[in-house]
Amino acid sequence: MQKLVEFIQSIYKSKEFIPLHEPKFIGNEKKYLNDCIDSTFVSSVGKYVDRFEKEFALYIGSKYAVATVNGTAALHISLLLADVQRDDEVITQPLTFIATCNAISYIGAKPIFVDVDLDTMGLSPQSLKNFLVENCEIAHEECINKTTNKTIKACVPMHTFGHPCKIDEIKEICDKWHIALVEDAAESLGSHYKQKHTGTFGKVGAFSFNGNKIITSGGGGVIVTDDENLAKKAKYITTTAKIPHPYEYAHDEIGYNYRMPNLNAALLVAQLEQLDKFLKNKRELAEKYKKFFSASRDIKFVKEPKNASSNYWLQAVILKDLQTRDEFLDYTNKNGIMTRPIWKLMNELEMFKDAQCANLDNAKYLEQRVVNISSGVNL
């Protein structure tokens, strides 16, 4: 492990503390922020919000993009757009960041957990199919869970660390079972599956621009869709469902104060200009790690899956067992290299311990072995 510490120090040319990931502001960030401040339009109305939405949609190949205050808000609204309602059920993966399940819970819906694939660390289409065949039926063009008699309204796969899951197979299964596909693409900006950008396979997709993401606005998120009506609905309910009027305040449904401020959008416009450079650097770093770990029998570097081009947002390795993982985490962090384990499984958290689950062997295996290593852009 000392060799790894020295290797990472050589990459980042530092023997000081090396964080897991940190933002890089190397372009027009200050220029656009100053312009935004001078305009006095610093809240949720301004040219940078409009500009970012247009440029982001163009970048990923979506017809529409609606900026939000953070990625969780984007996912929450995406589920509402998919007509998920209180007491509905939503299938997702247990190996994910808490935001996925929080967004489901905000609506009063219940998560169901199916397994992930070992090669993608994302939702397994085979596990999804098996669960539906064994537990569900279609009635009146809805998927009904025979165990709970509730409607399974949506499926939320997450592209773990930017590695695309087998999203086309998942979509095919969801379409067959009348389940809306809502992509949690929070970590996968710049990732493609079969030449198509993640987040654009389902009815709606959600991205995040949190401070540790590949590009950031401090916070921030975005909803993407090809459906004009859904895009208009998203913009409406994220701005408190206010009926347009020059000066009067009237609202005709429950809305949310979820719009991205113009200040944050100004930062994102500048960050988006640097994204291709960041992606190139991430892939170069992945190649260095791949070569370094190629001789190791006990540590496996996580490579992009078949048919995918990953953004390698967070570089990851798989250790041989839980004890080795814990020793790895302890040694690296004590020696100034920040590393972290993958998330605790959602079904093991107090809030979701009673959730219905499929067999989760792969998720349990990965939970005990996966570690993220230094992943920052190094220009």
Give the pLDDT of residue 44. Answer: 84
Give the pLDDT of residue 285. Answer: 97
Q: Tokens 């992009």 map to which residue? A: 304
Q: Compute the distance between CA of residue 379 and CA of residue 377 in angstroms, rounded to an integer.
A: 6
Residue 92 lies in a domain: yes
Contact indicator for 89, 357 with CB cutoff of 8 Å: no
Residue 227 lies in a domain: yes
Strands (E), the chain: 64-68, 89-92, 110-113, 136-139, 142-145, 151-156, 180-184, 192-193, 196-197, 204-208, 221-225, 299-301, 308-309, 316-319, 340-341, 370-372
Q: 3-state DSSP call for residue 9?
A: helix
Give the pLDDT of residue 45. Answer: 85
pLDDT in tens, 31-45: 999 999 999 999 888
Residue 39 lies in a domain: yes
Task: Provide mean pLDDT across the span 279-296.
Answer: 96
- Which residues, at least 6 apart from 74, have a Cβ–Cβ distance to it below 8 Å? 68, 206, 207, 208, 221, 222, 223, 258
- Which residues, at least 6 apart from 99, have a Cβ–Cβ distance to it below 8 Å? 71, 72, 75, 184, 186, 208
Residue 301 lies in a domain: no
- Which residues, at least 6 apart from 49, have a Cβ–Cβ distance to it below 8 Å? 67, 259, 260, 261, 262, 265
Give the pLDDT of residue 379. Answer: 74
CATH number at residue 61: 3.40.640.10
Average pLDDT, the chain: 97
Any idea of the CA torsion for 37, 43, 45, 48, to the nearest 10 degrees?
A: 50
Q: Compute the distance between CA of residue 372 and CA of residue 302 in angstroms, rounded to an integer.
A: 10
| Nearest alpha carbon to residue 373 among 11, 98, 71 | 11
Q: Compute the distance between CA of residue 141 and CA of residue 84 in angstroms, rounded to an integer.
A: 15
pTM, to two decimals: 0.96
pLDDT in tens, 303-362: 999 999 999 999 999 999 999 999 999 999 999 999 999 999 999 999 999 999 999 999
Residue 95 lies in a domain: yes
Give the pLDDT of residue 1. Answer: 84
Residue 231 lies in a domain: yes
Report the 3 state secondary structure along 100-121.
HHHHHHHHCCEEEECCECCCCC
Contact indicator for 144, 152 with CB cutoff of 8 Å: yes
Give the pLDDT of residue 81. Answer: 98
Q: Compute the distance between CA of residue 189 and CA of residue 172 in angstroms, rounded to an integer.
A: 23
Contact indicator for 192, 164 with CB cutoff of 8 Å: yes
- Which residues, at least 6 apart from 226, have a Cβ–Cβ distance to it below 8 Å? 62, 63, 64, 200
Task: List Cα–Cα distances, 54 to 48, 57, 64, 75, 260, in angstroms.
Answer: 10, 5, 7, 19, 14
Confidence of residue 53 (pLDDT cuts 50, 70, 90): very high
The burial class, CB within 10 Å (0-12 / 13-18 / 19+), for 42 is: middle
Domain hosting 108: range is: 29-273
Residue 24 lies in a domain: no
Domain count along the chain: 1
Least confident of 14-23, 122-131, 181-190, 367-376: 14-23
pLDDT in tens, 82-114: 999 999 999 999 999 999 999 999 999 999 999
Give the pLDDT of residue 189. Answer: 98
Give the pLDDT of residue 15. Answer: 87
Least confident of 13-22, 161-170, 327-336: 13-22
Residue 340 lies in a domain: no
